A and B are shown apart, each in its own frame.
Chain A
Amino acid sequence: MSDESANPANPLHLHLSSGPHIFSGRTTSQIMWMVNLSLLPALLWAWLVFGWPVLAITASSILGCVAAEYLACRITKTSSTIPDGSAVCSGLLLAYTLPPGISLWMPFVGGLLAMFFCKGVFGGLGYNVFNVALVGRAMMMATFPVEMTTRWLTPTLGMGKVDAISGATALAQLKLEGYEGLAKMLAAAHDSLQLWFDFFLGMRSGSIGEVSVLMIILGAAFLLWKGIIKLYIPLSIFVGVALMSPFSAAPVVYLLGGGIWLGAFFMATDYVTSPTTPKGQIAFGLGIGLLTGIIRNWGGYPEGICYAILLMNILTPALNDWFRPKRLTAGGAPS
């Protein structure tokens, strides 16, 4: 009302706004950077067993995503949203879904295209329909099918002294050669306890960020402790996959192999592309788990979590409509 500059007796610059005037202190960028932090154990492990190339691949993917974010901000003439950490997050997650032996320029292209067409075009943070990292992976599967399915490395403790290209991931072996093929591959060096241990700790061939269940759990525990993610989605994904595991010849490999741990805790829990209510999240997770099983068992790919999440992303707005929060006062008008 009174113009401060015209009234020297009132040196205050008072702001007018609707309440509330205090806030919890948590910000969107804080959340994004905490997610990024929680992803680091998995990267550390990948570096330990696959060597330096994984860091370069991750950097290349992040660079692609950040470049696309920069471009989108320039084109839409909005202030840069790179510091909010979401582009870095998408870059990290995309890299985690790639084989550790992939050519360095590919993640850059994948990140750039995914970030621009899946997020920038839709309006940036909060407006994307699909999980950016998974769209990136799906695009790369279609564009670079050979590199995406063959450039696996054999894990060796000691930062990749042995850079042998390994044959296939356990799930691919199961798909192509059946149970006997898988058993032959795994039994070569291991007894069954060792098998559990390898899959849990991460001494198996697979994508950069998915191999170590332990490291994923460490990161997820941090996010749970900070209240950033809840267990509804991950647990119901595991329930869904477990329901489908009897159809598989090797349930242990089925549950610990592939990318379901990474997908359940870090991809499916993405706020923007998942439902907001507990019931919606449970339906969402079950859907992902069942679709993953269907794709793995009867589809053309050895692993299905990526497409399962993308398919359920489409359903998110509907799930938000179907599963609403419970009102405190459900009753009708007072008598």
Chain B
Amino acid sequence: MSLFRWHKSALPTFSRGGIHPDEHKELTEDLPIENFTPTTVSIPVSQSLGAPAEPLVVKAAMVKRGDVIATVPGGGLSLHAPISGIVKGVQSGPHPTLVYDTTITILAKPSEGGPEFAEQPGWQSLAITQMLDRIKEAGVVGLGGAAFPTYRKLMLPKDAAVDTLVINGSECEPYLTCDYRVMLEESERVILGSWTISKIIGVKNCIIGIEANKQPAAEQMRKTIAALDLESMSPAVKMSVVVTQTKYPQGSEKQLVQSLTGRLVPKGGLPLHVGVVVQNVATAVACLDAVRNRKPVIERVLTVSGAGIKTPKNLRVPIGTSVEDIVIHCGGYTGDVVKILFGGPMMGRTIADLGVSVTKGTSGLLFLTEAETNLNSYQPCISCGECLDACPMGLEPNRVSQYIEVNRPLETEQFGVKECFECGCCSYSCPSHRPLVQFMQVAKAAYRRQERKAK
């Protein structure tokens, strides 16, 4: 429909590139979040960026839901028991990104009971440092997928002039609907969580960005904002919902900041350099749980979908639930599953071991059949320029790929390799199916090796 490109939508969006992949959200968007607790959970100690935690428990120890089971010695995020039970072992186990990692396995024993995580009175008037401590103690990380420790993102540098909190409800990855369900079903927690974060970073303005394909969520959030009387809370925060165009990668920090505020994050910078902090909706809920209920991150909502799974679902599962248990809970496979993904189909990672378990950053578990993906090998670049049009950063993936093919990775910075955040728009658009993101990764790895050598 390129003839009609001048017909622009009135909704805000980012200025450059982007794609419109098939959404496939209809598989799960109307399915309410369902709770599922397996009989065993296996928690890898590496759950976020930074040093891995060290196990505090040994085999046969009894743990209760929420107990600290691993900590980082120098200070960092602790891990908590997702369920009450007995430690079956501390051993090496499969990990979605690191391949193998130290893993604590807990066998459920519901008779052990556990804390209720009831609302703590007076939570709203806690000091900012106390709130931050609670968020850190609860092990909150970015639940949108990046898994960056949230307390570090909220501890602003002294000279930062931040005036806006952006709550990311874009969920631009196809298939995924967990954030959508959270916004529909737990809108009050999202709003109160956003208020909590606003208080911590000291902003009076909070914008919730939601893509146009999630109108019901936008309406629900607006209703909740009207009902909650946020103006009377101290401090008062002005909250608004902005519906953006449905366009991938709307949920990328830099793109969303531009869509909602018109501000451009400088090269190599963060949103806070233009006065904005971005948090995902599920992270806002986790922050509220941490501050109001002192509840650590021991479970998360994720979307189980794809043509390869019998009954797609939106599930709330304890951290450490294995892929295998989820497959069985969702009725097994249909058709030939060729790829199992942690995350969405654009930026998600393939796994090859059903023993891999859900981590804090797992937003989706997709079972793709051959018809949904492409297993063909790639062809030479025909210089069509599709990747240049698709790249939201204005980089040149085509030329990076050509340099990598002739093994000249250290000459690719001129094409913007270091600004690439691997959204995948280039590879998605490439008619020759070139693995352009992978070429970018190869180039980045070469630069990292060079930097290490220089030290």
Contacts and interface: CB of A to CB of B under 8 A. Distances in A.
A21 B341 contact: yes
A13 B270 CA distance: 40
B374 to A, nearest CB: 5
B268 A18 contact: no
Contacts of A1: 94, 99, 352-353
B118 interface: no
Interface in B341-389: 341, 345-354, 366, 368, 372-375, 379-386, 388
Interface residues of B, number: 77
B345 A15 contact: no
A85 to B, nearest CB: 12
B346 A333 contact: no
Nearest to A326: B394
A30 to B, nearest CB: 7
B428 A327 contact: no
Interface stretch (A69-77, A123-131, A174-182): A123-131
A30 B431 contact: yes
B266 A24 contact: no
A329 B373 contact: no
Contacts of A23: 373-374, 427-428, 430, 433
A335 B416 CA distance: 20
Contacts of A225: 2-3
B380 A125 contact: yes
B19 A24 contact: yes
B119 interface: no
A328 B268 CA distance: 12
Contacts of A277: 385, 388
Given A14-B339, A277-B385, A325-B388, A21 B368 contact: yes
A225 B348 CA distance: 33
Mostly helix, strand, loop or mixed at chain A's interface?
A: loop
A22 B382 contact: no
B431 A31 contact: yes
B269 A333 contact: yes
Interface string B99-133: 10000000000000000000000000000000000
B266 A332 contact: yes
B350 A16 contact: yes
Interface in B256-281: 258, 264-270, 273
Given A15-B375, A271-B383, A333 B268 contact: yes
Interface string A315-328: 00000100011111
A20 B424 contact: yes
A331 B266 contact: yes
B55 interface: no
Contacts of A226: 2
Given A2-B352, A272-B382, A327 B419 contact: yes
B105 to A, nearest CB: 18
B267 to A, nearest CB: 4
Given A14-B340, A327-B267, A334-B269, A21 B94 contact: no
A222 B207 CA distance: 43
A127 B380 CA distance: 8
A18 B264 contact: no
B435 interface: yes
A299 B256 CA distance: 55
A22 B21 contact: yes
B432 interface: yes
A12 B15 CA distance: 42
Nearest to A316: B383
Contacts of A28: 379, 382, 431-432
Interface string A1-44: 11000000010111111111111101110110000000000000
Nearest to A225: B3
B427 A20 contact: yes
A300 interface: no
A330 interface: yes
Nearest to A228: B384
Contacts of B381: 126
Contact of A328 (B15, B347, B352, B428): B15
B345 A20 contact: yes
A224 B433 contact: no
B27 interface: no
A21 B353 contact: no
B22 interface: yes
B70 interface: no
A227 B384 CA distance: 11
Question: Would you list the 10 A-B pairs with minimal beta carbon distance, nearest first?
Answer: A334-B269, A126-B380, A20-B424, A276-B385, A227-B2, A331-B266, A18-B438, A327-B394, A334-B273, A329-B267
Interface of B: 2-3, 14-17, 19, 21-22, 94, 99, 174, 254, 258, 264-270, 273, 333, 336-341, 345-354, 366, 368, 372-375, 379-386, 388, 391-396, 398-399, 416, 419, 422, 424, 427-433, 435, 437-438, 441
29 contacts: A13-B338, A14-B351, A16-B352, A17-B350, A18-B437, A18-B441, A19-B347, A19-B422, A21-B350, A21-B368, A21-B372, A22-B21, A22-B372, A22-B373, A24-B21, A24-B428, A28-B379, A28-B382, A31-B431, A125-B380, A126-B383, A271-B385, A276-B385, A276-B388, A325-B388, A327-B394, A328-B14, A328-B393, A333-B267
